Amino acid sequence: MNKTISINLGRTFFHIDESAYNLLQQYLEKLKITFSNTQGKEEIIEDIESRIAELLREIKKHTDQVILLSNINSIIDTLGQP
């Protein structure tokens, strides 16, 4: 049995599997490092988080659906690595 975590991303509430959450956190940290010396980095990160939330909403069929590791991998493939 896997743990699930409740998160708020892009002003949307999601239930996410713990392994998917860890991967998403790593991805967001890489983005923060990548844009650390960029003017407007907070806005850039916020825009990317909003896009991730948009893609997750497309995946989510019902309010109680848990976001899985495969979902996060698919989103990272779509957006690309930092």
Confidence of residue 2 (pLDDT cuts 50, 70, 90): confident
Domain boundaries, position 39: 4-79
Q: Is the pLDDT of residue 59 over 80?
A: yes
Is residue 44 within 8 A of residue 57, CB to CB? The reply is no
pTM of the model as a whole: 0.90
Structure confidence by residue, pLDDT tens digits, 43-54: 999 999 999 999
Which alpha helices (H) appear in the chain, and where do they start and end? 18-34, 41-59, 69-79
Q: How many domains does the chain have?
A: 1
Strand 4-9 vs strand 12-17: parallel, antiparallel, or unpaired?
A: antiparallel
